[in-house]
């Protein structure tokens, strides 16, 4: 009968005839001959039937409708298929959103070549990212949000690195009118003011603020010097507090949210860069305290604690590539239970989750570190 594949449609998602044809054609090219579309509806809710395709693919696809609670019990759908793919799912009730196999990246466009957003509520939202848009997690996050349909403000210190991010956004098909660039030193009040004010001036609103400021060492300063202490606190903490305060009036209007990028070192002591770890620990508690203040305004604030991320640590500490590779190898073998470092794209996906699906989370910390904070070396007994 051939391989089978199931596409699952969420209760608020859009899955029109053209998109279904696109998915069917790609599936056929890959050798799938049993294609199922499942429309999941809310309890006691009505939902439009999926598009009809006549008999062109007789015996190949079938349409099903079921309630949310029925879906969990319908394991047969998963068991009898080689692959289950979620397509353009509702953010309110995400079903298996992880897209299986890379070919979905190619098929996830409409007839005009424009990306089909998986996160419906991201489209037409305004996303501003403070610091780091020119590299690592910040760049990956800006790209992901823009691909999902958001207008983005990117910020960094290096014009060359910001230009690279701009080029990547253009290559991804993001229109220039959906991108704003703000350059400057984030520890300066004027830069923070420009970032928020220019975002609202250009796009008319602000929905999501990502505070990605993170520097581990001031170039030329001693690790334990007061010069290093002051600089790291100004960049990693003072800027976040100022940006948040500046953003609150705008986020209150849109019922938006804030995601702070912290670190696993906020939880687990880090002797090599103590001031960095201290600022991140303070950032974690800042999020908890402000969540109580902002809840009444309809604003969520959450924090992600990444572990060791490829290229990110070198960018923040000034390590050269050889030093970073040695560190990654050592930690992957001895300190990271998952035996690998994380990627910027993985962190970007987690940030997107906190900014979208996590509608009942505020003041929370999402640790994404491969298990490091829970790990302690223990002797093997056998």
Q: How far apart are CA 131 and CA 184, in angstroms?
A: 9
Query: Which DSSP string do the residues of 330-375 spell out, in sequence order?
Result: HHHHHT-TTSS-B-HHHHHHHHHHHHTT-TT--S-EEEESTTGGG-
Q: How far is CA 168 from CA 134, 147, 161, 172, in A?
A: 11, 11, 11, 6
Instruction: Tell me, rounded to whole angstroms, the distance of Cα 259 from its chain centroid.
Output: 10
Cα(297)–Cα(256) distance, rounded to whole angstroms? 10
Q: Is 290 among the residues known to form the active site? A: no
Residues 6+ apart with CB under 8 A from 350: 304, 366, 368
Sole residue written with tokens 């999501």: 208
d(CA 16, CA 28): 19
| CA triple 98-101-103, angle to 5 deg | 115
Strand, coil or helix: 14: coil
User: Measured in Å, how far apart are the chain's first and last C-alpha atoms?
Assistant: 49
Helical segments of the chain, H only: 17-29, 68-73, 75-79, 103-107, 136-147, 159-171, 189-203, 226-233, 239-254, 274-294, 312-317, 321-334, 344-355
Rounded CA Rg of the chain: 23
Which listed residue (32, 276, 290, 315) is catalytic?
A: 276
Cβ atoms within 10 Å, residue 75? 9
Give the active site residues: 276
């Amino acid at each position: 009968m051939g391989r089978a594949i199931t596409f699952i449609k969420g209760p608020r998602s859009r899955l029109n005839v053209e998109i279904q044809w696109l998915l069917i054609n790609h599936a056929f090219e890959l050798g799938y001959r049993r294609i199922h579309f499942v429309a999941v509806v809310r309890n006691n809710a009505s939902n439009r039937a999926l598009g009809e395709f006549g008999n062109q693919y007789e015996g190949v696809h079938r349409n099903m409708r079921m309630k949310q609670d029925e879906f969990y019990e319908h394991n047969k759908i998963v068991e009898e298929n080689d692959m289950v793919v979620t397509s353009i799912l509702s953010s309110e009730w995400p079903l298996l959103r992880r897209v299986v196999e890379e070919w979905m990246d190619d098929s996830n466009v409409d007839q005009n070549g424009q990306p089909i957003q998986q996160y419906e509520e991201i489209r037409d939202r305004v996303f501003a990212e403070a610091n780091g848009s020119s590299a690592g997690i910040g760049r990956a996050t800006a790209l992901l949000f823009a691909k999902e349909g958001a207008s983005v403000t990117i910020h960094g210190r290096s014009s060359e690195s910001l230009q690279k991010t701009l080029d990547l956004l253009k290559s991804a098909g993001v229109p220039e009118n959906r991108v704003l660039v703000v350059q400057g030193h984030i520890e300066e009040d004027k830069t923070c003011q420009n970032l928020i004010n220019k975002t609202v001036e250009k796009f008319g609103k602000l929905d999501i603020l990502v505070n990605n400021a993170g520097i581990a060492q001031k170039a030329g300063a001693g690790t334990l010097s007061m010069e290093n202490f002051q600089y790291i606190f100004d960049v990693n903490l003072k800027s976040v507090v100022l940006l948040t305060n500046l953003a609150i009036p705008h986020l209150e209007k849109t019922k938006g949210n804030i995601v702070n990028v912290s670190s696993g070192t906020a939880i687990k002591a880090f002797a090599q860069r103590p001031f960095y770890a201290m600022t991140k620990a303070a950032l974690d508690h800042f999020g908890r305290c402000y969540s109580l203040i902002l809840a009444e305004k309809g604003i969520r604030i959450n924090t992600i604690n990444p572990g060791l991320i490829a290229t990110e640590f070198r960018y923040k500490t000034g390590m050269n590539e050889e030093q970073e590779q040695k560190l990654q190898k050592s930690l992957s073998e001895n300190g990271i239970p998952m035996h690998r470092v994380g990627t910027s794209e993985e962190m970007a996906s987690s940030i997107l989750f906190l900014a979208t699906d996590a509608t009942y989370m505020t003041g929370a910390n999402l640790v994404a570190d491969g298990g490091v904070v829970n790990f302690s070396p223990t002797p093997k007994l056998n």
